[in-house]
Amino acid sequence: MTTLADFPITQKWPPANPDVIQLYAFPTPNGVKASIMLEETGLPYEAHKVTLADADVKSAEFLSLNPNNKIPAIIDPDGPGGEPLGLWESGAILIYLAEKTGKFMGDSPTQKYATHQWLMFQMGGVGPMFGQLGFFYKFAGSEYEDKRPQQRYINEAKRLLAVLEKHMEGHDWVTGAYSIADIAIAPWLRALDFYGARDVVGWGNHKNLVAYLDRFLDRPAVQKGLVTPSRD
């Protein structure tokens, strides 16, 4: 039978409590999806800080769990059949934890598929597009002379915000009840502030999204998840 000790990542980030879920992350918009979900479900877990530096995400130990060198990743020592399960890709982690606990994926098949739909909208749209906006607007790409890539991602972010703003009219949460779709989407809306890109995408004109993000940030589990693991 496989145990946690069989995962090489535990050599670089040793578990203090090998019986609980091990989270390997950093508090970025993708990383906090996993920590917020763990906080919301109340599942016991231990958070290990894995920075975005090559020494961490490209270490042999981290790559042994996630060959795609990106946080977040988890190991559940009590996975399917009682065997340990390693998992990466934040959307897959959210679905796994939702199924494990029976929480935050909707109470009916229709709601469940709507939750999947908006989760995929984040994974394939909001996350990658806002991430590129961050690169071209705040980070290294902001110095490129050719502004067409920057404009492309500003336009795409605006388009995605308009889709969400319209959808959120009359809704507290993306699929009606609070779900993993919210846990995936809202941290990316928050990231626009970190990128200094709120004005350029007209954030303040999206009254439904402004209220939605405040509602999300009011949740105690969200507040805890946003600082787990600590950056320090």
- Site of interaction with ligand GSH (CB under 6 A): 28, 30-31, 52, 57, 69-72, 89-91
| Orientation of helix 180-194 relative to helix 109-121, angle to 10° | 20
* Residue among 84 and 134 whose Cβ is closer to ligand GSH: 134
Q: In whole angstroms, how close is the CB of 31 to ligand GSH at the nearest point?
A: 6
89 versus 165: smaller Cβ distance to ligand GSH: 89
88: β partners:
73
Q: Which is nearer to ligand GSH, 69 or 142 (CB)?
A: 69
Q: At how many degrees (to 10) do helices 109-121 and 90-101 cross?
A: 160
Whichever of 57 and 174 has its CB closer to ligand GSH, that residue is 57
Please, which residue, 30 or 35, has the CB nearer to ligand GSH? 30
Q: Report yes or no: 23 and 35 within 8 Å, Cβ to Cβ.
A: yes
- Of the two residues 52 and 211, which places its CB atom closer to ligand GSH in the complex? 52
Please identify, using beta-carbon distances, which residue of 86 and 91 lies nearer to ligand GSH. 91
Helix axes 148-167, 127-137, angle to 10 degrees: 140
CA angle 74, 77, 62 (to 5 degrees): 35
Shortest distance (Å) from residue 204 CB to ligand GSH: 25
CB 38 within 8 A of CB 23: yes
3-state SS, residue 140: helix
> Rounded CA gap, 106 and 81, in Å?
24
φ/ψ of 104, rounded to 5, equals: 65, 30
Q: How far is the CB of 83 from ligand GSH (least distance, A)?
A: 23
Q: How far is the CB of 58 from ligand GSH (least distance, A)?
A: 7
Task: Please give the Cα distance from 115 to 152 (Å, whole number).
Answer: 28
Least Å distance, CB 122 to ligand GSH, is: 9
Closest distance of CB 7 from ligand GSH, Å: 18
Minimum Å gap between C-beta 104 and ligand GSH is: 17
**Distance separating alpha carbons of residues 43 and 36, to the nearest angstrom:** 11
Rounded-to-integer distance, Cα 85 and Cα 88, Å: 10
